[in-house]
Amino acid sequence: MATLELLIGGFGGQGVILSGQVVGKAAALYDGKHSTMTQAFGPEARGSACSAQVVVSDTPVLYPYVRKPAILVVMSQEAYTKFSPLLAPDGILLYESDLVQLGEVPPGVRLGSVPSTRIAEELGRKLVSNIVMTGFLSAATGVVSKEAARKAIEDSVPPGTERLNLSAFEKGFSHGQGTTLHN
């Protein structure tokens, strides 16, 4: 793996920051890798653009900021518009298929989509869309192992919501297992 840069983008209230924390925690605490996470969000608590930038590496991370993400996850149209120009030329773009309409995608970029909000609504809580997306990310890219992600979710979500969040993760992971990233 060496070093992998990952950016998760969406709008405030979608749980983007929690998704980044789960990925970073899974990598560092349970997969034996090194990771850092930085976050950025607008002045409003909900509705403004936000991102979680995660660096995962086999060696200590010397620079914690993402410059050219190899993996870009977008959960809103605004995030796609803002962050897609940053994606590495042969990167992976994962997107929320019900909320993001893709423009012209550069050649070499591999795509994967999941209706994470719809899946979360089917589980009874739209708020777990981020965890559905985290499951999809884990299965489609292998950036963190399934077991590590499950442990990180159990450690990161509010008490009493573990079962719902793990169900959301499993739904996203199942969707990701059936996905072939394509150009």
CATH code, domain with 55: 3.40.920.10
Domain that holds residue 46: 3-177
Average pLDDT in the chain: 93
For residue 178, which amino acid is it?
G
**Does any domain span residue 44?**
yes
C-alpha to C-alpha distance for 54 and 75, rounded to whole angstroms? 16
**Does any domain span residue 103?**
yes
- What parts of the chain have a pLDDT lower than 50? none
The two three-digit tokens of residue 178, written as one number: 């059936």
C-alpha to C-alpha distance for 42 and 40, rounded to whole angstroms? 7
| Distant-in-sequence, close-in-space partners of 74: CB < 8 Å, separation ≥ 6 | 9, 10, 80, 83, 84, 93, 94, 95, 96, 100
**Does any domain span residue 135?**
yes
The two three-digit tokens of residue 90, written as one number: 């042969």
Q: What pLDDT shows up at residue 178?
A: 75
| Distance of alpha carbon 107 from the chain centroid | 22
Q: Of 129, 99, 135, 128, whose CA–CA distance to 116 is shortest?
A: 129
**Does any domain span residue 10?**
yes
The two three-digit tokens of residue 85, written as one number: 């120009």
| pTM for this predicted structure | 0.94
Q: What pLDDT shows up at residue 28?
A: 97
3-state secondary structure of 130: helix
3-state secondary structure of 142: coil
C-alpha to C-alpha distance for 49 and 84, rounded to whole angstroms? 14
Q: What pLDDT shows up at residue 47?
A: 64
**Does any domain span residue 182?**
no
Q: What pLDDT shows up at residue 1?
A: 61
Burial 36-63 (b: 16+ CB within 10 A, else e): bbeeebeeeeeeebbbbbbbbbeeebee
Q: Of 179, 183, 160, whose CA–CA distance to 171 is shortest?
A: 179
**Does any domain span residue 91?**
yes
**Does any domain span residue 183?**
no
**Does any domain span residue 41?**
yes
The number of distinct structural domains making up the chain is 1
Q: What pLDDT shows up at residue 42?
A: 65
Q: What pLDDT shows up at residue 111?
A: 96
Q: What pLDDT shows up at residue 45?
A: 53
